[in-house]
Amino acid sequence: MIKITFLLCLITFAFASDFTSLKYQSQKRSSKLNQIWGEVTKNTSSAKFPSPVGLLLESMSPTLDHVADQLPEGRSKKVHSVGSVAKAEFIAEKNFYTGFFQGADSLIIRFSLAKEPDYTHKQSIDAHDNFVPGIALKFLIDGQPSANLFAMHGVNGVYSYNFFDLDFNNHIPQPEGLQLKVVADKFSTGTKIVQFLGLRKFSEHTQDGKPVPNPNFPYMLTFKPYQYVKDFFTPDYTEDYKEILKKIPSGTLLFEVYATLSPTQTCKQKIGDIRTTSEITPSYFGDTELFFQHQDFTHDLEVHPEWEPYTPYWNLIGNKSAKQKESKCPFSNLFI
Ligand SMILES: *[C@@H]1O[C@H](CO)[C@@H](O)[C@H](O)[C@H]1NC(C)=O
Ligand SMILES: CC(=O)N[C@H]1CO[C@H](CO)[C@@H](O)[C@@H]1O
């Protein structure tokens, strides 16, 4: 009897900070958020950038198939390896999408660069193909695995060291530059759609875990940084972006969120705002353990096969050219 109790204790202990198990997934979002945040803030120093060569040596499929908030055992982040993490909420405005899109109070956002930046050249122009910002967002759901997304401007970044210079989209243009093409090539061994990330999973449950009978999700999301958030930065390099992010207080409205309905109705409708509910901190756990699953756009195409002709497929010599999106806007209060 004592032995069994001991064994049970051991098992419970083994699951105590495991962000993969069913026991973890079945908890309330607030509890999962607190556990993740506890790990995030345990060690607020950053990990080191790994050698990008490592990416080529490992299988891509766990990035797509691993359903958890923690990296699979023995894996590390080969791109977006170093970053800062915050808790946040999505404050919805009136819209007809479901699940997350109607509001979410338990989000984790991570701010990172796709690759190690070279800060020896400090002028804004030197940021191109060097300083490549991206965000990842995790939507925690009661009793269900989280939904995750990544958004960037383009994988080659911008002509500015301002992390918030340009909008972030979960669809990205074709990567340029050999190094990033190699990443896309590698990625394409997991999915042929490397430029788009799916949103379907965001629509299927409300944050309190209720399944949505008729899920409705947009084609694309755009995160538009507020001007006063941009103003924390300058176009030229002054200090590492993670130091600047530390100055943004908890409770700051960071982004306006816009939805694009479809590839043939590409005007953007504002559907809400993202506001931080904590400081934005570097994190060793964030760099080494926190996992954001890539949601395969193929699942979105199952619901919307009419989007397929507009979808770029990556292959080793480039991309299969996709149909150009059409920029029709039915209402003048929306922008393209
Ligand atoms: C925090 O992480 C760094 C690695 O970035 C490591 O060198 C340091 O020992 C860690 N500190 C603690 C208290 O674990
Ligand atoms: C290398 C390559 O084939 N690039 C093409 C990818 O698709 C776009 C249009 O979707 C073309 O403009 C590129 O030339």
The pLDDT averaged over each successive group of 10 residues in the chain (336 residues) is: 46 57 93 97 90 53 69 68 95 96 98 90 91 93 94 78 94 65 60 79 97 96 96 96 98 96 88 98 94 87 91 63 67 48
- pLDDT for position 271: 96
Q: How far is the CA of 283 from the centre of ligand 1 (A)?
A: 10
- The residue whose CB lies within 8 Å of the most ligand 2 atoms, and thus the one to mutate among 319, 320, 324, 326, is 319
Residues with Cβ within 8 Å of residue 300, at least 6 apart in sequence: 196, 198, 199, 200, 217, 219, 307
Looking at the CA of residue 48, tell me the nearest atom of ligand 1.
Answer: 5
Q: List Cα–Cα distances, 208 to 100, 140, 221, in angstroms.
A: 10, 9, 22
Q: Decide: 82 in ligand 1 pocket, CB within 6 A.
A: no
- pLDDT for position 180: 58
> According to DSSP H, which parts of the chain are helical?
2-15, 22-25, 29-40, 53-57, 61-65, 178-187, 200-203, 227-230, 241-245, 284-288, 297-303
- pLDDT for position 319: 52
Q: So where are the chain's domains?
A: 18-310
Q: Which ligand is nearest to the CA of 325?
A: 2
Q: Which residue has the tokens 């379907």?
A: 200
Looking at the CA of residue 45, tell me the nearest atom of ligand 1.
Answer: 5
Q: How far is the CA of 310 from the centre of ligand 2 (A)?
A: 12
- The residue whose CB lies within 8 Å of the most ligand 1 atoms, and thus the one to mutate among 44, 284, 288, is 284
Residues with CB under 6 A from ligand 2: 174, 312, 318-319, 321-322
Closest protein CA for atom 4 of ligand 1? 47
Residue range 18-310, CATH number:
2.40.180
- pLDDT for position 202: 97
